[in-house]
A and B are shown apart, each in its own frame.
Chain A
Amino acid sequence: DTEVTQTPKHLVMGMTNKKSLKCEQHMGHRAMYWYKQKAKKPPELMFVYSYEKLSINESVPSRFSPECPNSSLLNLHLHALQPEDSALYLCASSQDWARSYEQYFGPGTRLTVT
């Protein structure tokens, strides 16, 4: 199983809502990543978890709150987002941080903030 799953596929939320994005993998990978991709732009790294610990936070605003409850799951909690946060949010995993050159991506969650 080389699959990374993400739910939901699409999400529309208001600026006062609280929602969560979920990512799951069962490949035994110990590094997991959140990326944000705006239209016609490259994916941009937001967070990296290595062995369930936050390793990298690319100066992401606090309205995005990641969580890694176990080695298979990665969540991204959203609160008080802005319309400019509308984007495709991609989750990825790799065997570990040292092997980040081989990341497996999920299909993404298309987020629209109204």
Chain B
Amino acid sequence: DQQVKQNSPSLSVQEGRISILNCDYTNSMFDYFLWYKKYPAEGPTFLISISSIKDKNEDGRFTVFLNKSAKHLSLHIVPSQPGDSAVYFCAAGGHQFYFGTGTSLTVIP
């Protein structure tokens, strides 16, 4: 059974608008939550992380929100740019990380 789920396989957003990618997890013991971005024919690239002691972490256009009571995290990208079009994976764990199946984001110019 998957410990980390991304229920939206794909998302399309207009350039300049906000992209919101969602992720749910099952294990309340997870310490860290990560987002990776993956372009075709490349490995995943680390984007941003958040520890379980925080509820928000911001890095430029990327913000990750953590709702521990709901076991839910989200990645906000604002403003979205065409170069953000990629597959986004969330991952959760402590030392060992479990990945979601990914959400393919398309930013339309």
Check if A90 sits within 8 Å of B43, measured CB to CB: yes
Partner-contacting stretch, out of A12-20, A68-76, A78-86, A98-106: A98-106
Check if B96 sits within 8 Å of A56, measured CB to CB: yes
Q: How many residues of B contact A (CB 8 A)?
A: 24
Bound Cα distance A103, B90 (Å):
13
Q: How many residues of A contact B (CB 8 A)?
A: 24
Is B73's CB within 8 Å of the partner chain A? no
Determine the main DSSP class of A at the interface with B.
Answer: mixed
Check if A107 sits within 8 Å of B42, measured CB to CB: yes
Bound Cα distance A37, B44 (Å):
12
From B43, B49, B89, residue with most partner A Cβ within 10 Å: B43
Residues of A within 8 A of B99 (CB): 42-44
Check if B43 sits within 8 Å of A42, measured CB to CB: no
Check if B98 sits within 8 Å of A42, measured CB to CB: yes
Check if B44 sits within 8 Å of A105, measured CB to CB: yes
Set B4, B41, B46: member contacting A104, Cβ < 8 A: B46
From A90, A97, A101, A105, residue with most partner B Cβ within 10 Å: A101
In the complex, the chain B residue whose C-beta lies closest to that of A105 is B43
Check if A101 sits within 8 Å of B41, measured CB to CB: no
In the complex, the chain A residue whose C-beta lies closest to that of B45 is A105
Interface pairs (18), CB distance under 8 Å: A41-B101, A42-B2, A42-B89, A42-B100, A42-B102, A48-B96, A56-B96, A90-B43, A91-B43, A97-B95, A100-B95, A100-B96, A101-B51, A103-B97, A105-B36, A105-B45, A107-B43, A108-B43
Q: Knowing that A100-B93, A101-B32 touch, tell me 5 more A-B residue pairs with CB under 8 angstroms.
A: A48-B96, A101-B49, A104-B46, A105-B44, A107-B43
